[in-house]
Structure 1
Amino acid sequence: MELMLADLNPVSLYGAIPSGEPTDPTTREGRIRRFHEDPSCMVMIANPAAAGEGISLHKICHDALYLDRSYVTTHYLQSIDRIHRLGLAPGVETNIYIYRTLAPLGLGCIDHSVSHRLRQKLRALQILLDDPDLHEIAYDEENSEDPIAWDISPDDVRDLIEVLEGRVDFSDEDTE
């Protein structure tokens, strides 16, 4: 991922990055400092668990792209809170983008399952805590546009799964 975004001078955070001094660029704190202070560092690549706690990004980052989410609601909510929190200047807009599979609904895929379960958990938290902000997050999750590519058929996806699982024998195919 870092190579694909090299022109944006990214910094990455994940579980294997050790904690340490902010002056050490190889540590978690050093990488966070670089993202805050280096104007050429335009992207932070992190998973919600690695960037969920102890990071304040709301003054320098206003867009989050989720490529892969887990079933853990706290990771998701904490990661959103890193960029959307009290203290934002008036008029600052925070944007959350969630990329999900193009597989049609009903085919069965992890992205749809994670989205469904997060939505259920957010609704339950909203009711338990009587928190209108959680209601809004659950509402956004429920009403976002699904990235369904209607030109991909369930047979196309099943075929892809069979290929990935090694169940297709290419020697039997007609060659032209």
Structure 2
Amino acid sequence: MLKLKLAAAFAVLASPVLATGIEIEVEGEGANGTIKIDLYEDVAPQHAARIAALATEGAYDGVVFHRVIDGFMAQTGDVQFGKIGGDMRMAGRGGSDQPDLPAEISERSFERGVVGMARGPDLDSANSQFFIMFDAGTFLNGQYTIVGEVTEGMDVVDQIKLGKGRNGAVIGQPDVMKTVTATE
């Protein structure tokens, strides 16, 4: 019995510490500054872990805000096709080299500053992309995973270069997540 308790205690100590947030350094024509996001590892543990892991690996460094819709949201996180200097026509169509995640739908509401996971038509298709709400979007409730919220830097979010047209594709030089760091 003591061996089992010791083994369980060691497993907890040996498991990686999950970051509780990320810090994004943004630069570009629109926004320049820092955005701090609290990740909801209690609400969306798999999605929070994915974002923290990608941040720790440096996968988000140099990724652009490719889809930005005034009054709605700013989307980023395409680590496959969304790197600055790449072919921006493909930005928003990729993910990471990890498998897609099953949705973690909660009772939380999409309000200003909330961070949601972008996905395709399949509810269980979120991967690396996420979006930050400029304003409330309660019509998204129950359809997308809420993974966190901005705790500092909404003024920076508000300055992210807007896209054009109905889909909000950013034309020209998009603002970029210069560095993304996992925080405790």
TM-score by length of 2: 0.25
Q: Which gives a bigger RCO, structure 1 or 2 (Cα 8 Å, sep 6+)?
A: 2
TM-score by length of 1: 0.26
Q: Which has the larger share of helix?
A: 1
Q: Which has the larger share of strand?
A: 2
